[in-house]
Structure 1
Amino acid sequence: MNARHIDHVNLRIPEDGADEAREFYGEQLGFGIEDALYAADEKPFFDVRLSATAVIHLWPTEEFEAPAKTNYDHVAVVVEESAAEIEAELADAGVEVEKSLDSPLGATGEAGAVYVRDPFGYRVELKSRV
């Protein structure tokens, strides 16, 4: 097999968490929200569009369990901005930075990264492009 990239990641969120998710991922982080089919009750999840080739499926469910160190660590998203630019955008959006690292190793090499938590406890790594 010759993998090229991750197509999607599935994350469960609280049954009543769709509006918070739209605000965090769409408004604060600036990613696209694709929820027309979810709103029409045609599928049980909606998407956070990270790029033309990658999404996060968010599944509102009553079975949601907050992430813990034993069942989840983080999802890493490569972005075009530098770590300093990411931090500035997050500050403007009112998003608290959990930590920043100068050059953690990722799939494409070492680059600056900024870590935040979404409203449901998931850690999101916003990693500069190498």
Structure 2
Amino acid sequence: MAIVGLDHVQLAMPKGGEDAARGFYSEVLGLAEVAKPVDLAKRGGCWFEGGEAHIHLGVEDPFSPARKAHPALLVDDLAALRLKLANAGVTFTEGSPLDGYDRGDVSDPFGNRIELMQRL
């Protein structure tokens, strides 16, 4: 028996936050929305993917954002993404140094922490 990979990361969102999630994850980060299976779609939320990154947002009530636990998304051009984030009004916070990476954090519309990393 061995773990062979990571299928997805689940983040919480408040009820009715799908449009805000689409605006951030699709329009700002550039992830594609994928249809949820019919049985799961009844619960609300939405799924996104880009490359091998799969982010699932599910409705949680009461909602509480993940401020410490987070996904770390690899990007190919952090400088260009930072400009896009700034133009969208999203604050980027520089990450502390980590050998081999340029990195920093943003918050999604719900306050969930998202780390963005570019391999150097």
What TM-score results when the alignment is normalised by the length of structure 2?
0.79
SS at match of 1:66: coil
Instruction: State the number of aligned residues.
Output: 117
Q: 1:5 to 1:127 in 2, by over 3 A?
A: farther
> What does residue 67 of structure 1 align with?
66
> Which string of whole-angstrom CA distances, capped at 9 and with x for unpartnered residues, describes residues 60-95 of structure 1?
232322335xxx3321000111x3222122223332
CA distance in 2 between partners of 1:5 and 1:88 (Å)? 32
* Cα distance, 1:6 vs structure 2: 2.3
Instruction: Find the residue that maps to 1:87 and give its secondary structure.
Output: helix
Unmatched 5+ residue regions in structure 1?
none
Structure 1 residue 114 displacement after superposition:
2.4
- Residue of 83, 95, 113 corresponding to 2:90: 95
**Structure with more strand by fraction:** 1
Decide whether the 8 Å contact of 1:12 with 1:59 is kept in 2: yes
Match of 1:84 among 72, 79, 83: 79
Contact 1:32–1:49 (CA under 8 A) maintained in structure 2: yes
Q: How does 1:1-130 map to 2 (within 5 A)?
A: 3=3, 5-35=5-35, 37=36, 42-43=39-40, 44=43, 45-51=45-51, 53-68=52-67, 72-81=68-77, 83-97=78-92, 99-101=93-95, 103-104=97-98, 110-130=100-120
State the one-letter code of the partner of 1:50: G
Letter in 2 for 1:48: F
Identity of aligned residues (%): 32
**Amino acid aligned to 1:62:** D
CA deviations 1:68-125 (Å, max 9, x no partner) are 5xxx3321000111x322212222333221x1137425xxxx2101211011111111
Distance in 1 between residues matched to 2:28 and 2:15, nearest whole Å:
21
Q: Distance in 1 between matches of 2:96 and 2:62?
A: 37
Q: Deviations over 1:28-77 (max 9, x none)?
A: 11111113x46xx53134211132x3311110232322335xxx332100
Structure 2, unaligned runs of 5 or more: none
SS at match of 1:112: strand
Paired residue type of 2:98:
P
